[in-house]
């Protein structure tokens, strides 16, 4: 139980830490990338505006350090008479730029081809040149950013590797924090379990004395007791039996957490566990006016488990089925082997009151009862399914609950204990 809790905490902590760090790293990366691209874009936009202003007045462009660093500087005429100042304005690029102008994309990123045939990435800006209030063409300025782009991609790879390292670090830190968080819970839980075991042992003696006293009193005074006195005595005996059953269940749960899952395991035939149970539950069904049927495998199944725990599992689910059924209902036990997964499987199905959908996630909680009044009348303590869950978890098996409220319940249990 605590290992499962520790794994969940480790997963939660590591995911939280990793996602936080990853979000910060990638936010910084894309922010930095955007700032670099935006800086180049502003630079190209400013240069395009300056050249458009100069060209409209002087019909020529002035050189300068910044302008000599551009990839392309050209005048794109509306009449198709282009003037190239620097670079190469090929037909493909001219068509691409005209197409973007039609869509209002006067600035952006563009893939271009150098005279050497190499493809590069440029940031371009187009600024209109006006004469007498009319646009005669566009000044096109483009600056190469391939090396910058490659550098950004390199930073992205570095950040990715840093993210992987962060993930590993987050798992280590999360595991450490989860162990620290679980330690006090585990300590308190062990104290509680020890207290339950000690208290249960201490309660056994007075209950045994009380039960023996009731038996002695009944033997001595039975002939002189009135009908109401006999009913009261029987109620007391039933209460003592329920208390003994509850104490046994509490001791079972206390022991379950203090032993390894592989304790007292041995190879044994399944028939040893179910032979007497089949006879008992057939008699029980006959006495209560119910139907009981058992479908057992034709071939003997050999299990590697604790025989007492396998028998206890079957008893818990069958007792539960009898407790929540009425006269005329049918309880079915089916046992089979899944040879492919090496699992021992059984289902306990009934046509009783069923379990509401919203109650199914609670039925394995300690002392939880779907129908509290009916459980109390029939001796239910709310611990049976909790014990079953402990046993199934110890063997790394599974429990599935099916059925509808008012039309019965089907429990399917699978345990990897086939020999």
Question: pLDDT for 42-65, tens place per residue?
Answer: 888 888 888 888 887 777 666 544
- Each as own residue / partner, the long-range contacts of residues 296-301 (CB below 8 Å, 24 or more positions apart, any chain) are 296/270, 296/335, 297/270, 297/335, 297/336, 297/337, 300/269, 300/270, 300/271, 301/269, 301/270, 301/335, 301/337, 301/344, 301/418
Query: Residue 310: phi, psi to the nearest 5?
Result: -65, -45
Residue 355 · residue 403 · CB < 8 Å = yes
In terms of average pLDDT, the best of 94-98, 100-104, 163-167, 327-331 is 327-331
Task: Dig out the tokens for 407 from the structure.
Answer: 């039309």
**What count of other Cβ atoms lies within 10 Å of the Cβ of residue 332?**
17
Residue 382 · residue 368 · CB < 8 Å = yes
- Scored b (16 or more CB within 10 A) or e, 395-419 reads bebebeeebeeeebbbbbbbbebbe
> Sign of dihedral through CA atoms 124, 126, 127, 131?
positive
Q: Taking the model in full, what pTM does it have?
A: 0.49
Cα–Cα distances (Å) from 355 to 325, 362, 366, 405, 408, in that order, read 12, 10, 16, 5, 7
pLDDT higher at 348 or 49 = 348
H-run or E-run covering 84:
strand 83-86
Alpha-helical segments (H) within 77-122: 91-102
pLDDT at res. 350: 93
Which residue, chain included where needed, has tokens 């700032």?
35
Percent of the chain residues past pLDDT 70, beyond the cut:
79
CATH fold of 2-151: Beta-Lactamase (3.30.450)
CATH of the domain spanning 263-415, picked from 3.40.50.620, 3.30.565.10, 3.30.750.24, 3.30.1490.190: 3.30.565.10
Domain spans of the chain, in order of start: 2-151, 263-415
pLDDT higher at 200 or 138 = 138
pLDDT at res. 271: 85
Question: pLDDT for 109-129, tens place per residue?
Answer: 888 776 667 777 888 898 888
């Amino acid at each position: 139980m605590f290992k499962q809790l520790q794994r969940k905490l480790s997963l939660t902590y590591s995911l939280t830490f990793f996602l936080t760090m990853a979000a910060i790293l990638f936010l910084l990366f894309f922010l930095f990338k955007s700032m670099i691209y935006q800086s180049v874009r502003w630079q190209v936009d400013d240069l395009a505006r300056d050249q458009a202003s100069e060209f409209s007045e002087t019909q020529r462009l002035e050189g300068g350090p910044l302008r000599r660093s551009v990839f392309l500087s050209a005048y794109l005429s509306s009449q198709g008479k282009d003037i190239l100042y620097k670079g190469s304005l090929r037909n493909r690029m001219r068509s691409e730029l005209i197409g973007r102008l039609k869509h209002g994309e006067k600035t952006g990123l563009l893939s271009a081809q150098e005279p050497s045939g190499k493809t590069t990435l440029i940031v371009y800006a187009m600024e209109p040149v006006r004469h007498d209030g009319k646009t005669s063409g566009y000044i096109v300025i483009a600056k190469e950013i391939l090396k910058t782009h490659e550098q950004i991609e390199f930073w992205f790879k570095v950040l990715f590797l840093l993210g992987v390292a962060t993930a590993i670090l987050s798992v280590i830190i999360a595991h450490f924090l989860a162990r620290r968080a679980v330690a006090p819970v585990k300590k308190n839980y062990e104290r509680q379990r020890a207290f339950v075991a000690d208290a249960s042992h201490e309660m056994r003696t007075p209950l045994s004395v009380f039960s023996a006293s009731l038996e002695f009193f009944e033997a001595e005074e039975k002939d002189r007791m009135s009908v109401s006195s006999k009913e009261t005595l029987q109620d007391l005996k039933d209460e003592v039996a329920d208390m003994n059953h509850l104490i046994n269940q509490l001791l079972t749960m206390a022991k379950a957490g203090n032993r390894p899952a592989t304790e007292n395991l041995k190879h044994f035939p399944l028939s040893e566990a179910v032979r007497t149970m089949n006879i008992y539950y057939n008699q029980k069904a006959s006495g209560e006016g119910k139907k009981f049927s058992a479908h057992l495998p034709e071939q003997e199944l050999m299990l590697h488990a604790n025989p007492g725990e396998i028998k206890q599992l079957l008893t818990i689910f069958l007792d539960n089925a009898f407790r929540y059924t009425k006269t005329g209902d049918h309880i079915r036990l089916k046992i089979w082997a899944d040879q492919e997964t090496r699992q021992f499987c059984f289902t306990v199905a009934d046509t009783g009151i069923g379990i509401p959908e919203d109650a199914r996630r609670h039925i394995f909680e300690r002392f939880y009862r779907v129908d509290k009044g009916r459980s109390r009348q029939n001796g239910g303590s709310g611990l049976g399914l909790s014990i079953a869950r402990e046993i199934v978890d110890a063997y790394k098996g599974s429990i599935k609950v099916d059925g509808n409220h008012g039309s019965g319940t089907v429990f399917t249990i699978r345990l990897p204990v086939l020999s």
